[in-house]
Amino acid sequence: MQLGAVADDITGATDLCLMLSRGGLRVVQVMGVPDGEFPEADAVVVALKSRSIPAADAVAQSVAAARALRAAGAGQVLFKYCSTFDSTDQGNIGPVTAALMQDMGSDLTIACPSFPAVGRTTYLGHLFVQGMLLSDSPLKDHPLNPMRDANLVRVLQRQTDLPVGLVPIGVIRQGEPAIRVAFAAHRAEGKRIVIVDTLEDDDLRVIGAACSDMPLVTGGSGIALGLAANVIESGQVAHRAAPRTMAAPAGRSVVLAGSCSVATHAQIAAAKAAGMPALALEVEALATGQQTADSLAAWVIAQPKDAIPLLYSSADPETLAAVQARFGQHEAGVMVEQTLAAVARRLAGAGFARFIVAGGETSGAVVAALGVTMLEIGPEIAPGVPWTRSLGTRSIGAGGLGGPDLALALKSGNFGAADFFISAWSLLEPSVA
């Protein structure tokens, strides 16, 4: 293993895996630190669910993951977080970065959330989302971590005692030697973490090159572009062309959508218009027992064998607000997530082997219920979303399914074009189109 990564959520980890795979590396994603050995790969990404948990827990989990990766040979570790720097004044980006630096003996690291391919850029330390300051973007109203300050030097400095500095775009554009000089100057001044400006992919490549000897790098999945290139250029690993299709296990296909985001709504509408059998989960019906995991799974199983059923919970904003007011925001979400996860488990037991799951939290719940522990990364369906294949599962439930082999597309709610649920299948071999 050349490169190890610790990602703070599951779809973020998958997104990072896709970037590393596109960079020519053979990459595997593992859910948490495995009990046994890491799989054979050029890069391993450990997916945690540590973005919004108490900082002390995030620190403990992240340090344990990084130690395991280094013990398995990783010469460099990337701490991966969201390209919109999702965090609060309590953390978790600052505390986790500080703890990892201390554990690794790192004297300077970067913070590089930029991901120009999806419109996240950093200019003079200010993060932009699709051309809008972070603090003017929809992230200002995020339910868990409202981002009201776009100045990342300030944002990060509120989260850590380690002095935070900035390498501005003017220096980045002078190239790798100038960036290394700037790093040395920051070190001499006592700075420990530097925000690096980035406007384009080429900036990520040159920043990556300048960080080749840092034990720890932190950022969004964009920086993987530079880090993967370092591994290839070191000559330790042969460039491997990113897969264009993926062999998929035989079995039926299903779409489970638990995201209420705009992109997922459009994907549901397109799937229905294309004639996919579709059924909506209703929180009220779940609460009264009118709908249960058993009844929903039975509906999916009863659909024609050559059809791809869609089970979705995605409510429009008014319905969602009403449901949340009645049942509680957290409670309603958990009810939906747990039901979809329980349905997925029943379907895996009934011969379903190909799953598209929409929603970050939803994906986490489904993957945990299926007992998936490792994912191999397949072809890109859309920016940030690859097909993946489960490499191993923990035994599920008392009966134990004994490790079903699954093809999984885990889609962050807002990713993918409107035809995602229809067209993604064509990348699987044999095609089920």
Q: How far apart are CA 146 and CA 319, in angstroms?
A: 23
Between 263 and 374, name the residue whose CB sits nearer to ligand ADP: 263
Residue nearest to ligand ADP (CB): 413
CB of 58 vs ligand ADP, minimal distance in Å: 18
Among 86, 103, 149, 361, binds ligand ADP (CB under 6 A): 361
Q: Does 139 bind ligand ADP (CB under 6 A)?
A: no
| C-alpha to C-alpha distances, 144 to 57, 64, 86, 100, 330, nearest whole angstrom | 17, 25, 9, 24, 11
Between 299 and 327, name the residue whose CB sits nearer to ligand ADP: 327
Binders of ligand ADP among 406-425, rule CB under 6 A? 412-413
Give the H/E segment covering residue 385. strand 385-393
CB of 233 vs ligand ADP, minimal distance in Å: 35
Q: Does 385 bind ligand ADP (CB under 6 A)?
A: no
Binders of ligand ADP among 315-354, rule CB under 6 A? 315, 320, 323, 332-333, 336-337
Q: Does 260 bind ligand ADP (CB under 6 A)?
A: yes
Q: Does 152 bind ligand ADP (CB under 6 A)?
A: no
Between 24 and 258, name the residue whose CB sits nearer to ligand ADP: 258
CB count, 10 Å around CB of 105? 8
Contact call for residues 7 and 364 (beta carbons, < 8 A): no
Q: Which residue's entry shows tokens 């962050």? A: 412
Sole window of 95-103, 221-229, 253-261, 374-382 interacting with ligand ADP (rule: CB under 6 A): 253-261
Between 230 and 313, name the residue whose CB sits nearer to ligand ADP: 313
| C-alpha to C-alpha distances, 123 to 113, 128, 164, 222, 280, nearest whole angstrom | 12, 8, 16, 15, 43
Q: How far apart are CA 219 and CA 196, in angstroms?
A: 10
Exposure string (b/e) for 37-75, b if CB count within 10 Å is 16 or more?
ebbebbbbbbbbbbbbeebeebbebbbbbbbbbbeeebb
**At how many degrees (to 10) do helices 317-327 and 329-349 cross?**
100
Sole window of 58-66, 94-102, 211-219, 359-367 interacting with ligand ADP (rule: CB under 6 A): 359-367
Q: How far apart are CA 200 and CA 197, in angstroms?
A: 10
Tokens of 299: 């509906």
Site string for ligand ADP, 101-120 (x = CB under 6 A): --------------------
CB of 138 vs ligand ADP, minimal distance in Å: 12
Q: Does 359 bind ligand ADP (CB under 6 A)?
A: yes
Sole window of 20-28, 40-48, 149-157, 254-262 interacting with ligand ADP (rule: CB under 6 A): 254-262
Between 47 and 332, name the residue whose CB sits nearer to ligand ADP: 332
Q: Give residues with Cβ within 8 angstroms of 54, minimum separation 6.
A: none
Q: How far apart are CA 270 and CA 418, in angstroms?
A: 6
Q: Does 360 bind ligand ADP (CB under 6 A)?
A: yes
Interface ranges with ligand ADP (CB under 6 A)? 258-261, 283, 313-315, 320, 323, 332-333, 336-337, 359-362, 412-413
